[in-house]
Amino acid sequence: MKISKKNVLNTAELARLEFDEETLSKFVRQLGDILVHIEDLAELDTENIEPTSHVLDLSTPFRKDEVIQSITREEALRNASSQENGFFTVPKIIINLGPTDDPISVHPIIQSELTVLPPKAKKQD
């Protein structure tokens, strides 16, 4: 299966990502290679192969759950830089998430690391 530049651009738009031409070309090539590999795997005869979740025959050891003494809330919050009503408080990072037409507001420190595309304008009927 071949993936087109248009497919990658559409997916990037849905994820609100922007790429320069060089990166876009690289993703088209890499995603195409992945799809070719998946097609090769689909051609393998797996009729008599038992499904596995891991290549090695491993088991996960479980321990018995035991109630033990833990630290108190006060001890946990002792070194907190900010707390309120017995809880840690942290700066709000992302706001206005949800099914709205408002752009996503992001904390300024995180904003410097992201490229957030504005939402598409709704088509008028």
- Give the pLDDT confidence of 44-58 residue by residue, as tens digits: 998 888 887 777 877
Q: Does domain 1-44 fall into CATH 1.10.20?
A: yes
Break the chain into its structural domains and give their ranges.
1-44, 70-117
Convert the pLDDT of each residue in 59-86 to its tens digit: 778 888 889 999 999 999 999 989 989 8
What Å distances lie between residue 65 and 68, 73, 85, 106, 115, CA to CA? 9, 22, 30, 40, 45
Structural contact between residues 4 and 31, judged by C-beta atoms closer than 8 angstroms: no
Residue 88: CB atoms within 10 A of its CB come to 11
**DSSP 3-state assignment of 85?**
coil
Convert the pLDDT of each residue in 16-36 to its tens digit: 888 899 999 999 999 999 999
H or E segment and range at residue 41: helix 21-42
